[in-house]
Amino acid sequence: MIELNQVSKAFEQEKAVDGVTMHIHKGSIYGLLGSNGAGKTSLLKIIAGIYRQDRGTVRIDGAEIYENLDLKGRTIFMADAPTFFPQSTITHMAAFYRSVYPRWSDERFEQLASVFKLDVKRKLHRMSKGMRRQAAVWLGLSCMPEILLMDEPIDGLDPVMRQQIKNLLFQESAERQVTIIISSHNLREIEDLCDHVAIMHKGKIIVQKDLDDLKADTHKIQVAFRHPDHAGLLKEHIHILHEEKRGSVSLYIVKGHREDVTAQFRLHDPYLLDVLPLTLEEIFIYEMEGAGYDIQPIVL
């Protein structure tokens, strides 16, 4: 369990992280979204124990991570631009990780060779950006971490490799209960991967949600009433997040149990009533609209 309480961090008066409180359960895949400069990397570095927060507490299984060697041996932070020793190969870096991370597994490293198919003897600085990213994931997973903090991990990867890395992360979370936090700008990119999502803006978490709850609780309904005044009556009984009219058909984004909500619409004897699939992006647009934010400049 990762618990952050009122965590803040400033760089020369400028607040990068501002009063963040979040609780992340073991085995969860948590998506951290936000625009450039929102504070995602700073927050990940605080959780990794690389930065010390100015205020608040960060506890992992009840202990502070900063200067905690045992916890750091169980935590991997993958930076957005992986760095390796000059002139090193994957074999050299594997030897280094093996000497630093007590849980390093040669067996896992060998297993993952079939996924990454990189030449372990080739100099990393001669590899492409995407290949270096793959090498970082390969090395990181071979450390058998309990906590995996990934800064834009699928950036620069081709679609096949993206899917393979997503599958590996699902496996880590399901089979080994690894807690994974992934930062990204792109809601669609991590929609199918994460079970929780938080949106960060100017150092603050402005919304954090369990995705299954959110999806079960929010619906897009297309409806056409026989009597136009019936639409007005709905508002008394249904929590409407958004409403728009296209000719005689109205589109509603509503919250509540699906059966309760559709029953309310049926009471007004519509001649058209469809419950349509809602993307995570749409859910966030309407949630954030309700909270007074425009999502478009914040995440893609």
Q: 3-class SS at 5?
A: strand
CB closer to ligand ATP out of 55 and 176: 55
DSSP helix/strand/coil, 10: strand
Nearer to ligand ATP, 50 or 275 (CB): 50
- Quote the least distance from Cβ 222 to ligand ATP, whole Å: 36
Residues 163-192 touching ligand ATP, rule: CB under 6 A, are: none
168 CB neighbour count, 10 Å cutoff: 16
Sign of the Cα pseudo-torsion (65, 68, 74, 77, in order): positive
Q: Which of residues 27-56 bind ligand ATP (CB under 6 A)?
A: 34, 36-42
Please list, in sequence order, all residues whose beta carbon lies within 8 angstroms of the beta carbon of residue 275, skipping any fewer than 6 positions away.
Answer: 219, 220, 221, 258, 262
With contacts defined by CB under 6 A, name the span among 8-16, 108-116, 138-146, 155-163 that binds ligand ATP: 8-16
Whichever of 200 and 280 has its CB closer to ligand ATP, that residue is: 200
Residues 38, 202 contacting (CB under 8 angstroms): yes
Shortest approach of ligand ATP to residue 150 CB, angstroms?
A: 12
Closer to ligand ATP by Cβ: residue 40 or 219: 40
Q: Hey, what are 109's tokens?
A: 């490293």
Indicate the residue among 37 and 102 with the shorter CB distance to ligand ATP: 37
Instruction: Name the minimum Å distance from CB 48 to ligand ATP.
Output: 12
Residues in the chain: 300
Query: In the complex, what is the shortest distance from the CB of residue 182 to ligand ATP, in angstroms, rounded to a whole number?
Result: 12
- Judged by CB under 6 A, the number of residues near ligand ATP is 11
How far apart CA 237 and CA 243 sit, in angstroms, is 15
**Residue pointed to by tokens 């996924």:** 115
CA distances from 30 to 25, 123, 278 (A): 9, 33, 20
Taking the complex as a whole, the smallest distance from the CB of residue 65 to ligand ATP amounts, in Å, to 17
**Cβ(148)–Cβ(140) below 8 Å:** yes
Of 16, 22, 112, 207, the one binding ligand ATP (CB under 6 A) is: 16
Q: Where along the sequence are the contacts to ligand ATP (CB under 6 A)?
A: 11, 14, 16, 34, 36-42
